[in-house]
Amino acid sequence: MHELSLCEGVLQVLEDTARKQGFERINIVWLEIGALAGVELEAMRFSFEVIKKGTLADSARLEIIRLPGKAWCLPCGNNVEIEQRFDACPRCGSYQLQVTGGEELRVKELEVE
Ligand SMILES: [Zn+2]
C-alpha cells in the first residue's frame, strides 16, 4: 500500500511547515489529490489515521479535495476531463491524449493552532 509512504511524505511537509511558521498543532489538513495521481482515497484516509498518531497532526481531520484528470486531445484540439490515464477523449473517442493535469498530491491548506 503506497499510500502509507505518501502519507509519510505529507507529514514531513506538515512538520517542515510547522517549523517555519511556528505552530504546534494542526486541526484540519486539506489535501488535493488528482484523479490521475494513482491514489486510493480510502487507503489515504486510513494511512493518515495511522501515521498521524503522536505527531502534531494527532487530532487533525483530513479533508480530501479531488481534482479531475485533465488532458489535451491532439486530433480534436479540445481540453477535456478524464477519469483515468488511458481513457479515450470524451469528445471524439481518440486515445491520443496528452495529460495536462490531475496528477497532483499536495497540501493545499492547513488550519492550525
Ligand atoms: Zn478528442
6 phi, psi to nearest 5 deg: -60, -40
Residues bordering ligand 1, an ion, CB closer than 5 Å: 73, 76, 89, 91-92, 94
Kindly give the distance from the C-alpha atom of residue 90 to the centroid of ligand 1, in angstroms, as a whole number: 7
d(CA 56, CA 23): 9
Kindly give the distance from the C-alpha atom of residue 101 to the centroid of ligand 1, in angstroms, as a whole number: 16
pLDDT tens across the length of the chain (113 residues): 799 999 999 999 999 999 999 999 999 999 999 999 999 999 999 999 999 999 999 999 999 999 999 999 999 999 999 999 999 999 999 999 999 999 999 999 999 98
Kindly give the distance from the C-alpha atom of residue 88 to the centroid of ligand 1, in angstroms, as a whole number: 8
Domain boundaries in the chain? 3-112
Strand partners, 28: 61, 111
pLDDT reported for residue 107: 97
Kindly give the distance from the C-alpha atom of residue 80 to the centroid of ligand 1, in angstroms, as a whole number: 8
pLDDT reported for residue 37: 95
d(CA 40, CA 46): 10
pTM over 0.85: yes
Instruction: Calculate the CA 23 to chain-centre distance.
Output: 23
73 phi, psi to nearest 5 deg: -95, 120
Given 3.40.605.10, 3.30.2320.80, 1.10.10.10, 3.90.79.10, which CATH number is that of 3-112? 3.30.2320.80
